[in-house]
Amino acid sequence: MVLELVVWACLVLGPAGGESPAAEPVVGAQPFAVVWNVPTSRCQHHFGMGLPLGNYGIVENQDGRFAGQNMTIFYKNKFGLYPYLSQQGIPHNGGIPQRVPLRVHLAKVAGDIRDLLHPTFHGLAVVDWEEWRPLWTQNWGNKRMYRAASEQWVQDQHGLLPRRWQRRLARRQFERAAQALMEETLLLGRTLRPGGLWGFYRFPDCLNGNWAKVANYTGQCRAADVQRNDRLRWLWAASTALYPSIYLPPALPPALRQRYVHHRLREALRVAAFGTSGLLPVTSLCPLQADLVHTIGESAALGVAGLVLWGDMSYSRSAESCASLRHYIMSTLGPYVANVTAVARECSYRQCHGHGRCVRRQPHDLGSLLLLGPGANPLGSFRCHCYRGWWEWSLWAKLGELHGAPRMGTIAITSERQQRPQFGTGWTHQCLSFPAQALF
């Protein structure tokens, strides 16, 4: 069916509030994509039980592969020579970044990339290195062993230096080596598979898990951690995507979940501005069977490009576990994902003419979600954030003729209309590709 949409351009805004254009869709050409990263191919191959992910718009790799053209995670023991210490303090690959031969590491990374990723790879490339953090001061708790090992490394080499100098040198060596290891790994990935979206899992981090230590938990990131994320601009410059974790700790009270996730995503969206070629796409990661509203729903409402659902082999261990997973997909997960992604598409179509992503007008309005329910019209709480290459205008959009509207410039846009949810009309934004002079 052909739809003629008449729009009256009443005011040129440019990017709203001077914000940078939104990153393009990450996979599937959708404004918000939900990606499957659970090793469940056994359900089909061993038990003859397919999972109807595509019926609900959930993106998966071909043949249900864990690593494929849409999504690949590189783990610590299967990607380069990632240095880490076991819980008993036993070093692997030197244990600390200072002890890794960078050239040898990068040579292995290159081989691993060529083995795992097709030359035309255009998916999410997530490096999952979680044992230590690149900033010295953030290695606390069970990560403090990396500071101790670094200090011992300096003492073994420079035992005659004063103790204070040894600590300073250990910190400097650790941070320089950590930066080189992470930065060069990403840059090599970008060189070998330039179509991939490269980034580290859990970066940026908000470290806002202090709900049990404060009287009135807000979920906000501490100012010190925001400043530390600012110090990692070298990492954001080397990345082509951000992959924050919105894993919900089991002890986190349900009433605090949304603000916990909200501020973790807000910090990632803030850091996205440090990309060298515009805003970095943000894709959140959370485990399968998490709180759907406060993970998928909150991610979509804030304008995140996508969300990855991950899980382990337990979901495909037996025919019973596969049957249970299939039931969960068909009864709970699938319908929710289909609802959110359909509304995100419709909002993009109506608010941005398909050339942008909808975001909350008021980011802290936690009650506004891209979710269609009985009598619900959620789009009024959302505005358009245009993709790169598109202008943002404030428009009055209405089907048919605009009776009595001031004739400041009327344009007719024709596009194919598919079945989609029905919403009212009103003030909106549109993303247009032609210069402003064309309207007048």
Task: Answer left, alpha or beta for residue 296, where phi above 0 means left and psi between -120 and 50 means alpha.
Answer: alpha
Question: Is 184 a catalytic site residue?
Answer: no
Neighbours of 245 (CB within 10 A): 18
Determine the Cα–Cα distance for residues 379 and 258; give it in Å rounded to an integer: 20
Determine the Cα–Cα distance for residues 265 and 21; give it in Å rounded to an integer: 18
Neighbours of 385 (CB within 10 A): 25
Amino acid at 170: A
By the 8 A CB rule, do 171 and 232 touch? no
By the 8 A CB rule, do 189 and 125 touch? yes
Determine the Cα–Cα distance for residues 285 and 307; give it in Å rounded to an integer: 6
Instruction: Residue 239: name the closest of 290, 207, 212, 204 by CA.
Output: 204
92 φ, ψ (degrees, to nearest 5)? -120, 130
Active site residue: 130, 131, 184, 298, which one?
130
Q: How far apart, in Å, are the Cα atoms of 162 and each of 27, 158, 165, 166? A: 54, 9, 5, 6
Determine the Cα–Cα distance for residues 244 and 130; give it in Å rounded to an integer: 12
Neighbours of 248 (CB within 10 A): 18
Determine the Cα–Cα distance for residues 36 and 56; give it in Å rounded to an integer: 12
* 197-200 and 124-128 strand pairing: parallel
385 φ, ψ (degrees, to nearest 5)? -120, 105
For 212, half-sphere exposure in the C-beta direction (CA atoms, 13 angstrom radius) is 6
3-state secondary structure labels for all residues of 25-77:
CCCCCCCCEEEEECCCHHHHHCCCCCCCCHHHCCECCHHHCCCCCCEEEEEHH
* Catalytic residue positions, numbered: 130
